[in-house]
Chains A and B, each alone.
Chain A
Amino acid sequence: MASSSVPKGTPNFPEYQTEEGRLKIFGFWVFLAAEVVLFSTLFATYLVLADRTAGGPTGKDLFEVKDFMIETMLLLTSSFTCGLATLEMRKGNKKGVFIWMITTLLLGAGFLGMEISEFVAYVNEGATLQTSAFLSGFFVLVGTHGLHVTVGIIWISLVLIQVAQRGLTPTTCRKLFIGGLYWHFLDVVWIFIFTAVYLTGLI
């Protein structure tokens, strides 16, 4: 299993140094492919149900441009800082990793907080999961993304603890890198939510 020779063409980065690291990163890409299918199914469902408001509120009634623009900015910026953290990791700069990753997580938490208060506001206006097919689709699609962000925040925090304990080893670097891939993926999914749910919902 452990072959010390690194295959030709492998990037010379810490996360790729071990056989295990290479396998797990590749496996994670495949997992992300499955996640794409998962979200595609949710998007398809949402789009089919989007007009079925059953006399309840529509997207136009609910969505606040300012709020979802801020949410989008928070998440996009967090993707950028996450990329900076990966760069610092490759330079072997533990402090840089912490600065940028914690910034990333804070931005993520800000996003999450806004999303939660958005959901609470809708529920207070009487727009709940039970109101209409449109809202069922909305809450489950956007909520699944939000759940993923929550998982990402907890997971990356745990990885950061491991980095604090053990430093930037090939194993912790692999974990950081995979956490980063996951984070970027969530950002991409959000772009689609932004377009297919919020922007489209305004028209």
Chain B
Amino acid sequence: MDLFNFKMPEQFIIMNNPLIIGAWISIILASVGIVFFVTKYKKWGYLWREWFTTVDHKKIGVMYILAALLMLFRGGFDAILMRTQLALPDMKVLDAQHYNEIFTTHGTIMILFMAMPFIIGLMNVGVPLQIGARDVAFPVLNAVSFWLFFVGAMVFNLSFVIGGSPDAGWTNYVPLSGSELTPGVGINYYLWGLQIAGIGTLATGINFFVTILKMRAPGMTLLRMPMFTWSTLVTSVIIIFAFPVLTITLALLTFDRLFGAHFFTIDAGGMPMMWANLFWIWGHPEVYIVILPAFGIFSDVISTFARKRLFGYHAMVISMVAISGLSFVVWVHHFFTMGNGPWINSIFSITTMLIAVPTGVKVFNWLFTMYKGRIETPAPMLWSLAFIPNFLIGGVTGVMLASAPADYQYHNSYFLVSHFHYVLIGGTVFGCMAGLYYWWPKIFDFKLNERISKWAFWIFIVGFNVCFLPMYLVGLQGMPRRIYTYKAEMGWTMWNFVQTIGAYLMGIGFILIVWAIIYSIRHEKRDRSGDPWHGRTLEWAIPSPPPHYNFSRMPSRITSADPYWDAKKRGESMFDENEPLKPIHMPNNDGMPIVMSGFMFIAGFGFVFEWLLIAFIGLLGVIGTMVWRSFKDYDADHYVQVEEIERDQAELQASLEGRS
């Protein structure tokens, strides 16, 4: 451990491959382009004031979602590369090493830097509005969460062009990922990218837990909360109990790799199996962290577009709580084949299968919600409808995998790969899409274009099934996961080719979604009235986009789980218009989160390269910014004056009248 050791990895700047050179060129062009245009149009001040230092949960949500879409692009590009390589036997698009790197970054990015921020972005947008809060409980901490996630993602993505990517899979099993078998910086990137982002996620969990428990509007009892808010509450609890485990797990491997400790090594008493256990004690709850909020979105969307109250509200809540508990006692099902003995395997087999029960309850509740409903099918509902059969396929194959003896066949085959893509895409990604389409006209004053979106939806859904259904079949034919090529004699060629076609279709679907966004920004009709879907819950009772303080008056008539729907039926407003407006207490913008996270980037970079001096300088910066913030904690808020609220209302009125 030498402070002044600046050893260089074998390759610092990676340039050995046309793809990576292409990435270099696009990174440089994009950065220069962004700097040029922002400077030319003098937008630095605007960006700093309105976005980089914002503590407004809606804007933070938008930034999360933007970053998630970017990462979806990066992870999707990885996927397309892998599918191209596997389209036919003996292809030479990627060599073995490069393939290893790509499936590792694909998996890690999709779960940690795509699914997580997408879900958290939607929570940020949706939850405070649904419960009638003017922000989250700790707005500055919320910004810290975002910027830590962002820096974690940047550190991780840097590996592609500087120093080399991690290549031991998103599960990063030891001893492969130990310093003996995989020296170099790749695995360090994995460890620090996840560590930094993970701390941000833990803070998010705490933040939303407190927000939901302590900041609901009067009348919003726990059992009147919208289902998405419920799912966020349950998810926050899972985050609080699961993410510290990840923090420690990553730290222990860091000690092994950087400082020669023996937690997971083969010699000196280390225990490689402990990594598998710790990783999945976090990892299995993690998959529920990304699915439960999607469940919440589907519940809200389905009852909105079936024009019916959610069927079995209490059963929905109870089953979510049951799932959250069970999610902590099933982790061994990820390594049935690693010598746990029949007793352990049997117990974890049963707990795993038990998860199917509350999940099944939820599926029936969604179906009964739609039964005899007047169903409409705009984009958010389409994604929700598609979720049910696709997720079912994923869930049923999950129960097959849960049978330990059978898992000896399925494990690490394409059957498993298909299982988790059916639940993660069919569940989480569809949920993110449903949520994005559903709340888009709440964040902004227009919907996303229906025609393009329907094309995107159908192409994506067809592509998804064309890509992943055959994976079950090649899996049963014995094709293992994580291989970079295969021989024609194996007989896997046809299905692999079909899968690749499906993957490209999904790519087209994604491009169309992006096109729908761009097209709609320019052409879609503007409407600030705020209730485009005839919504049921509180967020639809305020204008779109909402003022930065969300509610000019606090809602006062929350009498059910569908307060806005019921108020509309009674012909009432949610707000007591006679109540005089009062000044509103709001937090100030804050530069600490982004500055501190910038130092965190330096620290992360230093640790990745094991340049400890740089790492400690970064850490000192992190501590310094926090101390500085603590001393100026005393003027961190302000009051929005009544005149400003009245001005906003008049502006809204003018926009509404201009429309009609």
A and B found bound together = yes
Give the interface of A toward B (CB within 8 A): 1-2, 22-24, 26-27, 30-31, 33-35, 37-38, 41-42, 45, 48-49, 52-54, 56, 129-134, 136-137, 139-140, 158-159, 162, 166, 171, 175
* Binary interface encoding of chain B residues 257-276 relative to chain A, with 1 for a CB under 8 A from any of its CBs, else 0: 00111110101111100100
Nearest CB of chain B from residue A9's CB, rounded to whole Å: 14
* Cα distance A137–B195 in the bound complex, in angstroms: 20
Stretch at the interface among B243-251, B494-502, B519-527: B243-251
Is A37 touching B245 in the complex (CB atoms < 8 A)? yes
**Most B Cβ at <10 Å: residue of A37, A52, A158:** A37
Pairwise interchain contact A37-B269, C-beta atoms closer than 8 A: no
Which residues of the partner chain A approach B210 to less than 8 Å between Cβ atoms? Answer: 23, 26-27, 30
Across the two chains, which residue of chain A brings its CB closest to B134?
A1
Question: How many angstroms between the C-alpha atoms of A159 and B240 in the bound complex?
Answer: 27
Give the residues in chain B near A26, CB-CB below 8 Å.
Answer: 210, 213-214
Picked from A30, A41, A54, the residue with its CB within 8 Å of the CB of B267 is A54
CA–CA, A175 and B631, complex, Å? 11
A134/B240 in contact, CB under 8 A: no
Whether A140 touches B252, Cβ cut-off 8 Å, given contacts A34-B244, A38-B247, is yes
Rounded to whole angstroms, the CA-CA distance of A35 and B606 in the bound complex is 26
CB neighbours (8 Å) of B585 from chain A are 1-2
Contact at A136–B274, with CB atoms within 8 Å?
A: no
- Residue pair B261, A37 in contact (C-beta under 8 Å): no
B12 / chain A contacts, CB cutoff of 8 Å: none
Q: Which of B177-216 contact A (CB under 8 A)?
A: 202, 205-207, 209-210, 213-215
Given known contacts A41-B249, A41-B278, A52-B271, A166 and B634 CB-to-CB distance under 8 angstroms: yes
B420 within 8 A of A: no
For B267, list chain A residues within 8 Å (CB): 54
Contact present for A129 and B268 (CB under 8 Å): no
- Complex interface residues of chain B between 615 and 660 (CB less than 8 A to chain A): 627, 630-631, 633-634
A-B contact pairs, 17 of them (CB 8 A): A1-B584, A22-B214, A23-B215, A26-B210, A27-B206, A37-B244, A45-B252, A45-B278, A48-B271, A52-B271, A130-B261, A133-B263, A137-B263, A158-B627, A158-B630, A159-B630, A162-B630
A33-B241, A41-B248, A158-B630 are known; give 5 further A-B pairs, CB within 8 A: A23-B137, A26-B214, A41-B244, A132-B269, A136-B255
The contact of A49 among B202, B206, B269, by CB within 8 Å, is: B269
Are B241's CB and A136's CB within 8 A? no
CB–CB A54/B269 < 8 A: yes
Give A141's nearest chain B residue, CB to CB: B248
Contact B263 A34 (CB under 8 A): no
Contact between B245 and A49, CB atoms less than 8 A apart: no
Within 8 A of A (CB), among B576-607: 584-586
Contact status B262-A130, CB under 8 Å:
yes
Pick from B241, B255, B634: contact of A37, CB under 8 Å: B241
Contact A23 B255 (CB under 8 A): no
Counting chain B residues whose Cβ lies within 8 A of the other chain, the interface size class is 35 or more
Q: Please measure, in the bound complex, the distance between the C-alpha atom of A26 and the C-alpha atom of B215, giving whole angstroms.
A: 12
In angstroms, Cα B207 to Cα A111, docked, is 33
Q: Say whether, besides A1-B586, A130-B261, A158-B627, A34 and B268 are in contact (CB < 8 Å).
A: no
Q: Which chain B residue lies CB-closest to A169?
A: B634
Q: Which of B259, B265, B627 has the most CB of A within 10 A?
A: B259
- A171 cross-chain contacts in B, Cβ below 8 A: 633-634
Q: A45 CA to B263 CA in the complex, in Å?
A: 8
**B138 proximal to A (CB < 8 A):** yes
Closest 4 pairs (CB-CB, A-B): A52-B269, A133-B269, A38-B244, A136-B261
Q: Is the CB of A30 within 8 A of B209?
A: yes
B630 to chain A, nearest CB (A): 6
Most buried by B among A2, A22, A30, A132: A30
**Nearest Cβ on chain A to B639's Cβ, whole angstroms:** 9
The chain B residue with its CB closest to the CB of A3 is B585
- Docked CA distance A40–B265 (Å): 22
Q: Are A134 and B630 in contact (CB under 8 A)?
A: no
Nearest-Cβ distance from residue B277 to partner chain A, whole angstroms: 9
A131 touches B268 (CB 8 A): yes
A133–B262 CB distance below 8 A: yes
Chain B residue contacts of A129, Cβ below 8 A = 255, 259-261
Which chain B residue has the least Cβ–Cβ distance from A56?
A: B268
When distances are taken between beta carbons in the complex, the residues of chain A under 8 Å from B633 are: 171
- Indicate if B78 sits at the interface (CB-CB under 8 A): no
Q: Are B244 and A49 in contact (CB under 8 A)?
A: no
Distance (whole angstroms) from the CB of A4 to the closest CB of chain B: 10
List the A residue with the shortest CB-CB distance to B210: A27
Identify the closest chain B residue to A22 (Cβ). Answer: B214
Complex alpha-carbon distance, A88 and B516, angstroms: 63
A55, chain B: closest CB distance, angstroms: 9
**How near does chain B come to A108, taking the closest CB pair, in angstroms?**
18
Known: A23-B214, A34-B202. A132 touches B268 (CB 8 A): yes
The interface bits of chain B over 1-17 (1 if a CB of A lies within 8 angstroms of the residue's CB, else 0) are 00000000000000000
The residue in chain B whose Cβ has the minimal distance to the Cβ of A136 is B261
Check if A49 sits within 8 Å of B634, measured CB to CB.
no
Interface check B135, CB cutoff 8 A: yes
How many Å lie between the Cα of A170 and that of B213 in the bound state?
Answer: 23
Cβ A27 vs Cβ B263 within 8 A: no
Measured in the bound complex, the distance between the Cα atoms of B252 and A20 in whole Å is 36
B279 to nearest A CB, angstroms?
A: 12
How many angstroms between the C-alpha atoms of A137 and B270 in the bound complex? 10
Q: Could you mark each residue 275-290 of chain B with 1 if its beta carbon is under 8 Å from any beta carbon of chain A, else 0?
A: 0001000000000000
A30-B240, A48-B274, A140-B255 given; A38·B206 CB < 8 A: no
Inter-chain CA distance A45–B273, complex, in Å, is: 12
Give bound CA distance, A129 to B274, whole Å: 18
A42 touches which one: B202, B213, B248, B259 (CB < 8 A)? B248
Tell me whether B252 and A133 are in contact (CB under 8 A).
Answer: no
A116 to chain B, nearest CB (A): 16
Contacts of A41 in B (CB 8 A): 244-245, 248-249, 278
Residue of B nearest to A30 (CB): B206
Do residues A136 and B263 form an inter-chain contact, with CB atoms below 8 A?
yes
Docked-complex contact B274 and A27, CB < 8 angstroms: no
A159 to B634, CA, bound (A): 13
Find the B residue at minimum CB distance from A50.
Answer: B269
Which residues from chain A contact B261 at a C-beta distance below 8 Å?
A: 129-130, 136, 139-140
In the bound complex, residues from chain B placing their C-beta under 8 Å from that of A31 are 206
Question: CA separation between A27 and B210, bound complex, in Å?
Answer: 6
CB under 8 Å from chain A, chain B span 206-234: 206-207, 209-210, 213-215
Q: Quick check: B214 and A130 within 8 Å, CB to CB?
A: no
Chain B, range 387-414, C-beta contacts under 8 Å to A: none
In the assembled complex, which residues on chain B have CB atoms less than 8 Å from the CB atom of A24? 138
A61 to B129, CA, bound (A): 60
Q: Are A162 and B269 in contact (CB under 8 A)?
A: no
- Tell whether, in the assembled complex, residue B240 and residue A54 are in contact, meaning their CB atoms are under 8 Å apart: no
**Bound-complex Cα distance A34 to B255 (A):** 21
